[in-house]
Structure 1
């Protein structure tokens, strides 16, 4: 079965941290199919998790290191789309949802398509 994961994004690792976004994590075989996600859309709102995991910015909490590595290895074969719910620095959400991106996002092209 191909990965489809819903991930809650928090401001920090603190147990009382604000929920600031939701990320859908989807197998590249789905997101890189231009009949499902046109390349123009992918470049605008999706990002490659292999690149993101390589930065060291991804944290899998509440799992032993070996299980966290299994999750990271699975997620590396996916792309993500982030819905930001709480604007940075705001005291409260403003009701607007924005499309987040990872830092260092690089758009793929037909010549760089990955499985």
Structure 2
């Protein structure tokens, strides 16, 4: 407990310190962390019973897909999205690295309709990616629901656009969310997603990507609107660490 207090004080003191000094302090391997104590678990039980969690309660959808770091298409990760509707044309999602109880919270994604995307300022559009290929290829899934129901969901998502920030680069830093937020993108053609990662997704969600592709052949995907997927024109914006 004393050690935890020391670490907590360090976290407060170092709250405004950049990643590089933090890594110099702890080295490449962060200090080991204790699991939640019995006291913490009891407090959590009280929270479950007594506190309202209305934003979380509004989550009404779960989809799993693949993202890559904008400007670095070789860095690819699996992203499990838990989404709620702000309107018929606007979803907001929290993203985890898995659907397990110990999943890491790794980012957020906003999903909007083509109509809303078309209304954005041109400078803003470079942060957004299309979902046409993700849906048609079968790479995007809604685990656990029957395939006919999933098809109806994919019809709603196929012509939408997403703006995604990952706050935890878990492919590099497994234990702590070091570094600055990173803008993420989605794939737009065959051969971009690494085959081992696709196989891992298939294992996690329990279905064949190729089979899903075949069942979605008749889903209508409109042409991608200008301004999306700006990385394809060499405009791969990214936040850089100092």
Give the structure-2-normalised TM-score: 0.38
1:101 is aligned, of 185, 206, 221, to 185
1:39 is aligned, of 119, 122, 131, to 122
Give the distance between the partners of 2:158 and 2:148, measured in 1 at CA. Answer: 15
Q: Any residues of structure 2 matched to 1:2-13 within 5 Å, and which?
A: 2-13=88-99
Moved over 6 A (4+): none
Give the distance between the partners of 2:135 and 2:110, measured in 1 at CA. Answer: 15
Q: Quick one: higher RCO (CA 8 Å, sep 6+), 1 or 2?
A: 1
In structure 2, the CA distance between the partners of 1:66 and 1:15, relative to structure 1 (3 Å rule), is: farther
Bigger radius of gyration, 1 or 2?
2
Q: Any residues of structure 2 matched to 1:35-114 within 5 Å, and which?
A: 37-42=120-125, 44-87=126-169, 88-90=171-173, 91-94=175-178, 96-104=180-188, 108-109=225-226
Give the structure-1-normalised TM-score: 0.73
Give the distance between the partners of 1:57 and 1:15, measured in 2 at CA. Answer: 23
Map of 2:216 onto structure 1: none
Say what the alpha-carbon RMSD is for the aligned residues.
2.5
Map of 1:23 onto structure 2: 109
Count how many residue pairs are aligned between Structure 1 and Structure 2: 105
Report which of the two has the higher share of helix: 2
Map of 1:113 onto structure 2: none
Give the distance between the partners of 2:188 and 2:140, measured in 1 at CA. Answer: 13
Provide the secondary structure at the position in 2 that maps to 1:21.
strand
Give the distance between the partners of 2:102 and 2:143, measured in 1 at CA. Answer: 14
Gaps of 5+ in 2: 1-86, 190-223, 228-242
Give the distance between the partners of 2:94 and 2:141, measured in 1 at CA. Answer: 12
Q: Quick check: 2:114–2:160 contact (8 Å CA) kept in 1?
A: yes
Gaps of 5+ in 1: 111-115
CA deviation profile, 1:36-95 (whole Å, cap 9, x unmatched):
x223321x2101111221232212123222222211110112111101111132121126
In structure 2, the CA distance between the partners of 1:85 and 1:4, relative to structure 1 (3 Å rule), is: same
